[in-house]
Amino acid sequence: MNKITSRNKKFNVLMDDFPVMICEFLPDTTLTYVNRAYCCYFNKRQEELLGKSFLQVLPKSLHEEAKKTFFSLTPEAPVSVHIQKTERNGEVKWEEWRDRGFFDDEGNAIKYQSAAIDVTDRINAEIMLKKQKEKYQQILENMTDVIWQTDLKLNLTFITPSVYRLIGEKGEEHIRKPIESIFPPESLEILKKTLEEELMRENTLGIDYNRTRLLELQQFHKSKGCIWVSMHISFVRNKQGVPIGLQGVSRDISETKKMQEELLIAKKKAENAIEVKSRFLANMSHEIRTPLNGILGMLQLLEMEDLKDEQKEIIELAKKSGSNLIQLINEVLDFSKAEAGKKDMFRKPFNLKNLMKEIETILIPEILSKDLDFQVEISEDLPEVIEGDSLRLKQVFTNLVHNAVKFTDDGRIDVKIDKVMERDETYLLKCLVKDTGIGIPETKKEQIFDVFSQANEIIFEKYGGAGLGLSITKKIIEDMNGTIWVESMEGEGSWFYFTCEVNKSKDGRMLDTTY
């Protein structure tokens, strides 16, 4: 008897140190044992609980459910239940109770034993996990893009429910299909080739976890035939980083493809219209220039006659108007060609110094008529012979110097050419055309390179011009991989800078600057 009592004491001490709430009670709900954890949880002393019904510590709303649970216990197995309780401070607690009944040989209940732990943190985590799962499931179901995975044989192993929006098939139906039933032969071949290329690349260069490939393929739709999809694909890897399949995101781009095709058709139509316009302008300019040159020739012959001063002024005015008209025709034609992209660059060796002398020869009458100083300076580290489109470069310098002469009544015009960068086969030139003319208002600097642009109406009335020269010049410079910009002070002059790319000459001979 003493040994049994001693064992009971040891058992009670062990149960008191156990963090789980434990109690025993009779079939009439009278408590016969409670451990320390049980007392602490309900904030009661042991003597306040023993001999009393265990129902006194439970909310009245749980009494019937608790009695029903215990009285339904059988000898076969214990029962686990979760109980939700709201504390006085409003905090919700969850308890997990594990109840067991002890019965005599005739099946009558002798006592019941109940053990409980606080599972609030676990239940809250499960609730949170469930909400997160529902949230992501909702995202997957409502997204328009399709996320998928395959093995290395391109058999589908996973696909999101959004596949229904993409191709009109449910995920469980689509995932069972062979890959040949998903893509047309051409698209399937591209996909297989991409997989082979990526595996080969990985074997050669090693693992690249950030690598993705973008493909645009056709895919079968359940009711629409074929649609276009874009696919960002990468490898699925095991823990060792070895590729075990493909994964990707697919998006319907059929409308984008349709728009691209429509834009391409519209572009071709626009190009054809520009081509027709260019041919028309070229023909018209020829038809106009032929009689106009005849008129100018007749004026020159007439000028040789013995004329009065007033008649000479009239002839000079007519010649000037005719020259302006020819220049306008040339500019319109050049602009039309530039707009149509017809100004192909022809690269041949030429002598830069000779090119600048030609430009000076063309413009020297205008320069001398205004008594202007004119100087050209070419960097000494540039070879005399370079390779490029001398005709286009000549047109650029001629336009800029001609403008400088036109807008400068007194002072000088300077041209400077420097080499600012040298590569294996090319030079980058930085060129300057500087004048001491009327300058450009600050608000007009960005506009002067626009089509039909003049600084203001007064300049147009005084100096004329169609406002095409600088826009043509800009287009030519851009074709030579360069840029153009201007610095100017109104009333003091302008500094037109531009860069252009020329090739190193493979032929050291001095060649003509024209074709």
The predicted-structure confidence for 50-90, as pLDDT tens digits, reads as follows 999 988 887 788 788 877 877 778 776 778 878 787 777 88
Q: Are residues 155 and 205 in the same domain?
A: yes
CA distance 449 to 473: 8
Domain boundary at 199, 228, 256, which? Answer: 256
Is there a contact between 247 and 156 (Cβ–Cβ < 8 Å)?
Answer: no
Do residues 499 and 365 both lie within one domain? yes
End of a domain among 305, 321, 337? 321
Does residue 264 share a domain with residue 250? no
Residues 46-60 as b/e (b if ≥16 CB within 10 A, e otherwise) read eeebbebebbebeee
Question: Are 444 and 454 spatial neighbours (Cβ–Cβ below 8 Å)?
Answer: no
On whether residue 340 sits in a domain, the answer given is no
Q: For residue 87, what pLDDT is reported?
A: 74
Are 496 and 431 found together in one domain? yes
For the entire predicted model, the pTM comes to 0.45
In a domain, 326, yes or no: no
pLDDT value of position 320: 75
- Tokens for 379, please give them: 């960097």
- pLDDT score of 513: 41
Cα 73 from Cα 87, distance rounded (Å): 29
Do residues 35 and 151 share a domain?
no
Predicted local distance difference test score (pLDDT) of residue 413 = 94
Is residue 226 one of the residues assigned to a domain? yes
CA dist 129 and 152 (Å) reads 32
Gyration radius of the chain over CA positions = 47
Domain assignment of residue 118, yes or no: yes
Question: How large is the average pLDDT for residues 195-214?
Answer: 92
Question: Quick one: 248 and 263 in the same domain?
Answer: no
Q: How buried is residue 142: exposed, middle or buried, by Cβ count under 10 Å (0-12/13-18/19+)? A: exposed
Instruction: Let me know if residue 134 belongs to a domain.
Output: no
Whether 108 and 150 map to the same domain: the answer is no
The pairing of beta strand 373-378 with beta strand 412-422: parallel
297 and 426 housed in the same domain: no
Q: Are residues 183 and 274 in the same domain?
A: no
CA 375, chain centre distance (Å): 49
Residue with tokens 């090319």: 426
| Pairing mode of beta strands 79-86, 412-422 | unpaired
Q: Establish if 328 belongs to a structural domain.
A: no
Does the pLDDT at position 157 exceed 90? yes
Picking from 344, 342, 340, the residue whose alpha carbon sits closest to that of residue 277 is 340
Q: Are 467 and 406 in contact (CB under 8 A)?
A: no
| Burial zone of 6 (CB within 10 Å; 0-12 exposed, 13-18 middle, 19+ buried) | exposed
337 part of a folded domain: no
Is residue 248 domain-shared with residue 216, that is, in the same domain?
A: yes
CATH code at 93? 3.30.450.20
Confidence category of residue 198, pLDDT binned at 50, 70, 90: very high
Residue 417: phi, psi to the nearest 5? -125, 120
Name the domain boundary from 234, 256, 278. Answer: 256
Stretch among 190-194, 318-322, 411-415, 458-462 having the lowest mean pLDDT: 458-462
Measured CA to CA in angstroms, residue 153 lies from 181, 217, 422 at distances of: 14, 18, 52
Domain co-membership, 272 together with 417: no
User: Mean pLDDT, to the nearest integer, of 262-274?
Assistant: 87
Asked if residue 510 is part of any domain, the answer here is: no
243-252 and 146-151 beta bridge pairing: antiparallel
DSSP-H helix ranges across 304-342: 309-339
Query: Considering its fold, how many domains does the chain have in total?
Result: 4
Average pLDDT over residues 301-311: 82
The per-residue pLDDT for range 318-371, each reduced to its tens digit, is: 877 777 677 667 666 666 666 555 556 678 899 999 999 998 988 888 899 899
User: Measuring CA to CA, how many Å separate 391 from each of 39, 187, 349, 358?
Assistant: 104, 48, 11, 11
pLDDT in tens, 88-139: 788 888 888 888 888 888 888 888 888 888 888 888 898 899 888 888 777 7
Q: pLDDT-based confidence at 515, cuts 50/70/90?
A: very low
Q: Strand order in 146-151's β-sheet?
A: 156-159, 146-151, 243-252, 225-237, 213-221
**315 lies in which domain range?**
259-321
pLDDT at 509: 47
Say whether both 295 and 438 belong to one domain.
Answer: no
CATH code, domain with 480: 3.30.565.10
